[in-house]
Structure 1
Amino acid sequence: MSETVTRREALKLGAAAGVLAGAARRAAAATGPKPIRFGFIGVGGRGTGLLQQALAHEGVEVTAICDINEAHLNRGIDLVRKARGNEPAGHSAGPTDYRRLLTRDDVDAVLIATPMQLHGRMAADSLRAGKHVLSEVAAAVTVDECLDLVRAQKESGRTYMLAENVCYYRANLIVLNMIEQGLFGELTYAECGYVHDCRSLLFNGDGSLTWRGELARQESGNWYPTHSLGPVAQWLGINRGDRLVSLVSRSSPAVGVKDYATKRFGADHPTTKLPWRGDSNTSLLSTERGRVIELRFDTSSARPHPTTTYFTLQGATASYHDREAVPSIWVDGKSKEVAWQSINDYAAEYEHPLWKRWAEEASKTGHG
């Protein structure tokens, strides 16, 4: 594969959380007599992609699938049958039927890829049922759900992993290794954002709202922070030597979604009359050690789509940003001029061990 890092490569070949989890499953399977037996909760578009990835790993069996959409359920069962020859148990008897899956003795772990509003409750129920959990982002949508999720993990002692794939993009891992090797010195400031025109994903074909649409209508602020904040939290050692202590947040007026809906469905469509929340949100977060994070979120504004996330990191002795086609760094005392260098100049020295071990497998995963 290429020895250089580009923005497009980072998106395409990111060492996704699904691959990382697959690696953990294979390692576990190699040391024990049986593979990890997975139940899938939610096999829509995203869940089906993750199911296909799981079936590529010899150390994984898929023994049960749950989805309230029977067409999605049958598609998932068929994928398992064709890939492995067995037929997983199917659960589709309403929105709480996942709890019946959780009672099964042939399920060791679950992968949750349902609408985001359901993640927190389903993950907590799964942990309390004695199952390990790999959950799509975000982990939960309320503070109470977050606290209950922490309690459920501590009570059960089971493994919980948030499937945040952006943490494992190659460039982000190189920066993490640079930090751990002391190249940046004391870290002081970071910028990050998830800026991605998702307006087409807010609506079904008839103009009714998808789960994303419901969130965009009901929730102001940043309700999808993990793609951008995840790598920064790793870099700053959040909950590993530092922690977030405060934030202030402001949202812009809401104009983008209404404009899109009017053009797509007509000015008289009920969707155009909905009270949409702000298009763009910016938050300033501070940590216990005094560091500052500027966090932006915008999925409602018209813009091109070369990428979805961006990052800036400032330390005492180095600075990093990935706003250009190739992520760039400047290192005091090492960079030859007062100008940005390609991070590829440092890749050989600071390639992260995770990427060295799993790069070939990551290259097969696409979106992750």
Structure 2
Amino acid sequence: MDEDLGTTSRRMVLGGALAVGAVAGLGAQRAQAAPVERRRPRRKGQKSMIGVPYAQRDTVRVGVIGLGNRGSGMALGWASIPGGEVTAVCDIRADRANRVADRLQAAGHDRPATIGGSESSYLELLRRDDVDYVYIATPWEFHFSQGRDALRHDKDAAVELPIAMELDELWELVDASEQSRRHLMLAENCNYGRNELAMLKMARAGLFGEITDAHGGYLHDLRELLFSDTYYTDAWRRKWHTRSRAAFYTMHGLGPMSACLDINRGERYVSLVAIDTPAEGLADYRERFVPRDHPSWQEEYVHGDVQTVLLTTNSGKMCRAVHSVSSPRPYSRINSLQGSRGIVEDYPERIYVEPDHKGHAWADFGPYRDKHEHWLWRKLREDAEGGGHGGMDWIMQWRIVQQIRTGQVPDIDVYDSAVWCSSVPLSAESLKKERAVAVPDFTRGDWDDSSRGGLDSAESDMPG
């Protein structure tokens, strides 16, 4: 059975007419045929993890796998959360584990166990009985196997973006969570950004009326870092630009915008179409700034400078997500919500809602954010502001530790994580087939529950 929906010529959409054609094509598809279901039956003994709380623990003992730029910084964050403790750190390079352990000890924390030396060293960390929660910050190609193995070793886990690169791997992580009765979540820190959480509160309060369109993404000029010989170990991230046209990193915008669209909470994505531009940016940067004896001159880049994915929901709402890291531009995650009564945009932050505003003039977002401040930022802003990425890293870590210590249901579950990350393999599939493709229902029919929790949570305290 064909799982794809309609056709969209890539050449037609390489210019300004591309996006228009893609949108029109999706509208025609909705009128002509329902999307083909992409759902896998549960294996015997599996049950949904929706609404399942964390196993309550007074102290959350964290093991960190992957101690590069991201993992080493986050290790200090986990140890700084009340009730959090880093008990083991692991990296394929054992010296990194020792350096992070030294930093934790110098900051006044107990020295964690240090593990490393091989690609399989992480299994030693997973076998430890003093690790309850695993945080994974390795290169993308290791996320799936390490996340799956964490679940198989009876650990809850947070995995950096994306949790897996292939559709089969995403399904296997869903199955592993349901089989182990442990949680795996995408460590999508942008869901805990101050503006993103305020936008979610505004959306839930009906400020924008009925939301029909959302737009997010990850637009970040990474060219200098991608060609650095030290920032990404063994140039792992640049090498992905030689392997795939997929939209690798849309989740920074897609996650928060999906929350505002109530995805897996009364709405679900049913189709995705992807378009991309030619791959020019990295080769151009290399030509101008990279010495001819650099290893990158043996590489050919296939990953377009800009990828756009357009998702539609069961009720016809749209979400656009953009990935662009190899072009000169200021940083942006876009963050835009459009509804029947108004619109909000980030980068720069501004708002227009009826009946407050008239004359087609934007208004200051600040007063609206203050009025709809999420309780996490109202409660923790002073403590969070010294944390990474403007404080949202620390907010995310605090919330995870708090939820485990109080036995709450996680804000982000494996189903949310899988559907957001499915934009990676589905964009590759759409680009290859030059048509829209169906989005799997990882919840297996349980998405239509508008009452279940999520990031718009009720205020609660950290245990003393």
Pick the TM interval, shorter chain: 0.7 to 0.9
Conservation of the 8 A alpha-carbon contact between 1:35 and 1:59: yes
- Structure 1 stretch displaced more, 284-293 or 259-268: 259-268
Identity of aligned residues (%): 38
Select the residue among 352, 355, 362 that pairs with 2:377: 355
Aligned-partner Cα distance in 2 for 1:53–1:85: 11
CA deviations 1:223-247 (Å, max 9, x no partner) are 1111111111111011111111111
Q: Does residue 91 of structure 1 match 2:143?
A: no
Say which is worse superposed, 131-140 or 76-85, in terms of deviation.
76-85
User: What is the Cα deviation at residue 208 of structure 1?
Assistant: 9.0
Report how far residue 216 of structure 1 moved: 1.4
CA distance, structure 2, for counterparts of residue 80 and residue 267 of structure 1: 41
Q: 1:115 to 1:318 in 2, by over 3 A?
A: same
Please report how far the alpha carbon of residue 336 of structure 1 lies from its aligned counterpart in structure 2 after TM superposition: 5.0
> 1:254 aligns to what?
279
Number of equivalent positions: 335
Q: Which residue of structure 1 lines up, in the alignment, with residue 67 of structure 2?
A: 43
CA distance in 1, matches of 2:122, 2:293: 39
SS at match of 1:105: coil
Query: What is residue 129 of structure 1 aligned with on the other side?
Result: 153
Structure 2: gaps (5+ residues): 1-53, 394-464
Q: 1:251 to 1:267 in 2, by over 3 A?
A: farther
Deviates more, 1:133-142 or 1:335-344: 335-344
Once the two structures are TM-superposed, the CA of residue 204 in structure 1 deviates from its matched residue by 4.2
Cα offsets for 1:36-61 (capped at 9, x unmatched): 11111011111111011122123112
Answer with 207-216 or 291-300: which moved more: 207-216
Instruction: Confirm or deny: 8 A CA contact 1:39 1:107 kept in the other structure.
Output: yes
Aligned residue for 1:309, secondary structure, equals coil
Unaligned runs of 5+ in 1: 1-27
For residue 98 of structure 2, the aligned residue among 65, 74, 91 is 74
Alignment of 1:219-258 (within 5 A): 219-258=244-283
Within the candidate set 171, 179, 193, 2:217 is matched to: 193
DSSP-derived class of the 2:238 partner: helix
Distance in 1, matches of 2:286 and 2:125, equals 38
Alignment of 1:11-26 (within 5 A): none
Do the aligned partners of residues 289 and 184 (structure 1) sit closer, same or farther apart at CA in structure 2, a change above 3 Å counting? same
- Residue 336 of structure 2 corresponds to 312
Query: Does residue 299 of the first structure (1) align with residue 325 of the second (2)?
Result: yes
Listed as ranges, the matches of 1:276-291 within 5 Å are: 276-277=301-302, 278-291=304-317
2:166 to 127, 132, 142: 142
Check conservation: 1:55, 1:83, Cα contact below 8 A.
no
**SS in structure 1 opposite 2:241?**
helix
Q: Offset at 1:176?
A: 0.6
Q: Tell me the distance in 2 between the aligned counterparts of 1:195 and 1:230.
A: 15
Other structure's SS at 2:343 match: strand
- CA displacement at 1:195 relative to structure 2: 1.1
> Normalized against structure 1, the TM-score is what?
0.85
Tell me, yes or no, if the aligned pair for 2:216 and 2:252 is still in contact at 8 Å: no
Shift of 1:212: 0.8
Structure with the larger strand share:
1
Could you tell me how far 1:268 is from its partner in structure 2? Answer: 6.2
Q: Does 1:345 align with 2:367?
A: yes
Q: What letter corresponds to residue 320 of structure 2 in structure 1?
A: E
Aligned partners of 1:336, 1:265: CA distance in 2, in Å?
A: 51
Check 1:73–1:268 CA distance in 2 against 1; reply closer, same or farther (3 A cut). Answer: closer
State TM-score, norm by structure 2: 0.68
1:211 to 236, 241, 246: 236
CA RMSD of aligned residues (A): 2.1
Cα offset, 1:184, TM superposition: 1.4
Write the letter of the residue equivalent to 2:381. Answer: A
CA distance, structure 2, for counterparts of residue 195 and residue 78 of structure 1: 35
1:63 aligns with 2:87: yes
Q: What per-residue deviation string (whole Å, max 9, x for no partner) do you get for residues 142-165 of structure 1?
A: 111111111111111112222111
My pick for the range that moved more, 205-214 or 57-66, is: 205-214
2:353 match:
331
Distance, in Å, in 2 between the alignment partners of 1:68 and 1:238 is 37
Kindly provide the CA deviation profile for residues 144-197 of structure 1, in whole angstroms up to 9, marking residues without a partner as x.
Answer: 111111111111111222211111211111111111111112111122221111
SS in 2 for 1:217: coil
Which amino acid in the other structure matches residue 101 of structure 1?
A: L
Distance 1:342 1:148 in 2: 45
Q: Distance in 1 between matches of 2:210 and 2:382?
A: 33
